[in-house]
Structure 1
Amino acid sequence: MYLVTFRLDPGDYDAQFHELNDAIQVVAETTDGYRGKRTWNDPESDEVLVVYYWESLDALEEFGADDTHERAKQRWTEWYDAYEVTITEVVETYGSGFGESADPPV
Structure 2
Amino acid sequence: MYLVTFRLDPGDYDEEFHELNDAIQEAAEGTEGYLGKRTWHDPESEEVLVAYYWESLDALETFGAYSEHKEAKRRWTEWYDAYEVTVTEVIESYGSGFGDDADPPA
Give the Cα–Cα distance (whole angstroms) in 1 for the partners of residues 58 and 22 of structure 2.
22
| 1:7-60 superposed Cα distances (whole Å, 9 cap, x missing partner) | 000000000000000000000000000000000000000000000000000000
Q: TM-score, normalised by structure 1?
A: 0.95
Counterparts in 2 of 1:48-59, with a 5 A limit? 48-59=48-59
| Aligned residue type for 1:96 | S
Unaligned runs of 5+ in 1: none
Q: Are the counterparts in 1 of residues 24 and 68 from structure 2 also a CA contact under 8 Å?
A: yes
Counterparts in 2 of 1:1-106, with a 5 A limit? 1-96=1-96, 98-106=98-106
Partner of 2:38, secondary structure, is strand
How many equivalent pairs are there? 106
What is the root-mean-square deviation in Å for CA atoms of aligned residues? Answer: 1.0
| Aligned residue type for 1:13 | Y
Q: TM-score, normalised by structure 2?
A: 0.95
Deviates further, 85-94 or 19-28: 85-94
**Deviation of 1:93 (Å):** 1.5
Unaligned runs of 5+ in 2: none
Q: 1:97 to 1:33 in 2, by over 3 A?
A: farther
Identical columns (%): 78
